[in-house]
Amino acid sequence: MKPTRVLHVVGVMDRGGVETWLLHVMRCIDRRKLQMDFLVHTTRTGAYDAELQSLGARIFPCPDTPHPLRYAKRFMEINGQSGPFDVIHSHLHGFSGFVMSLACGLRIPMRISHSHSCSSRVPGSRGQHAYRHASRWLISANCTHGLAASGPAADDLFGERWQSDPRFEVLPCGVDLAPFRQTVDRARVRSEFGFDNRNMVIGHVGRFDGPKNHDFLVDIAAQAVAQNSDARLLLVGDGPLRPVIEAKVRQLGLTRHVIFAGSRSDVPRLLLGAMDKFLFPSLHEGLGLALIEAQAAGLPCAISSEIPSEADLVPQLITRMPLENSPATWADRVLRIRPAGVPQALTRVENSPFNVVTSARKLANTYGA
């Protein structure tokens, strides 16, 4: 039998929650039954491109998103020259509406729009509201399936009555939990960043962009250092706002206390070995896979009330706080959180829908493979 051919549509296959999940799914699937390729909105090489290609995937650049007609032409060329595809699976939130309409025009049998965000909670201009409305309409009119990382993410892209439409469902993205079973030399990992036994290391993993709220993270760090000079903030990730946040850290005199680890391939090792607590004050999240990983590592987590409740896999590890609270209040609470000591934390995550093995199996079933 021929494998089911799937074309994922993403921005770029760099290190990020959705992209990492897709890479881990690629490692799990039976490639005799599923052929997964990737259409990306860039001409540069993504961090995961080489491994994906080694696993049999093809990467198709389609960078013309500002020019709909050129984008449509390139999209059709890819499908004409490299198809036919059985499934178009778009991970682009609002832009998925345009992708779904193109896929419908090509008569691709399965057209999936996948919501990973709750971005419409952020106030926008009249034009942005019009774009969101048009995107929802195009998705509803042209998709055959709609998947979402959480209930709020489904509300955001499919409307609050999505549960009455059999096309739409929640399909949690998963995490590769194998690295969390490995033994980590904690002293060695901490020494790589200059941490010693006196330091309380508060960690964060996330791309440097608006929703992750790095500006507020640094404000919390400043207050934490004022209360405990041995406190440190370890920021893992990269992105367009990193230079702005680095400048703020210098301006506040926190250079010795805030460490920028950059984009890393060993995030589980850092969660297990470097961090004492995890801080996640996002403005909004579709779910937040970094939070799932932090719980797998057994870290106590201080998170914003905006995070979907589906992410609370180990409640003993979770402290929720409203973003309206001051940085000083956040810092005081974070410093007071004690390690929860939940020995079965990893087991709970393994037995949840956020285990990538479970997630990949459910996705393959969705494709009919």
Contact 324, 304 (CB under 8 A): no
Q: pLDDT digits over 281-326, tens only?
A: 999 999 999 999 999 999 999 999 999 999 999 999 999 999 999 9
Residue 121: its pLDDT value, please? 63
Strands 301-304 and 277-280: parallel
**pLDDT of the chain, 369 residues: tens digit per residue:** 799 999 999 999 999 999 999 999 999 999 999 999 999 999 999 999 999 999 999 999 999 878 899 999 999 999 998 878 999 999 999 999 999 999 999 999 999 999 999 876 666 677 777 888 899 999 999 999 999 999 999 999 999 899 999 999 999 999 999 999 999 999 999 999 999 999 999 999 999 999 999 999 999 999 999 999 999 999 999 999 999 999 999 999 999 999 999 999 999 999 999 999 999 999 999 999 999 999 999 999 999 999 999 999 999 999 999 999 999 999 999 999 987 677 799 999 999 999 999 999 999 999 997
Among residues 290, 269, 86, 268, the alpha carbon closest in space to that of 173 is found at: 290
Residue 363: its pLDDT value, please? 97
Counted residue by residue, the chain has a size of 369
Residue 131: its pLDDT value, please? 84
Residue 120: its pLDDT value, please? 65
List the domain range (segments joined by +) for residue 300.
178-350
Contact 132, 94 (CB under 8 A): yes
Unique residue bearing structure tokens 């990737």? 38
Q: How far apart are CA 333 and CA 302, in angstroms?
A: 8
Cα angle for residues 301, 303, 308 (degrees, 5° grid): 115
Distances (CA, A) of 239 to 229, 257, 261, 276: 28, 20, 12, 24
Pair 112, 22 in one domain: yes
Q: Residue 335 belongs to a domain with what CATH number? A: 3.40.50.2000
Pair 269, 234 in one domain: yes
Q: How far is CA 227 from the centre of its chain?
A: 32
How many CA within 13 A on the CB side of residue 116? 22
Pair 143, 204 in one domain: no
Pair 57, 75 in one domain: yes
Q: pLDDT digits over 32-54, tens only?
A: 999 999 999 999 999 999 999 99
Pair 117, 260 in one domain: no
Pair 335, 359 in one domain: no
Residue 148: its pLDDT value, please? 97
User: What backbone torsions phi and psi does residue 358 show, to the nearest 5 degrees?
Assistant: -65, -45
Residue 219: its pLDDT value, please? 98
Residue 280: its pLDDT value, please? 98
Pair 193, 144 in one domain: no
Contact 220, 330 (CB under 8 A): yes
Residue 369: its pLDDT value, please? 73
Pair 191, 66 in one domain: no
Pair 118, 39 in one domain: yes
**% pLDDT > 70, the chain:** 98
Pair 359, 302 in one domain: no
- Model confidence pTM above 0.85: yes
Cα angle for residues 238, 48, 100 (degrees, 5° grid): 95
Residue 128: its pLDDT value, please? 78
Pair 248, 134 in one domain: no
Pair 231, 122 in one domain: no
Residue 190: its pLDDT value, please? 97
Q: How many structural domains is the chain composed of?
A: 2
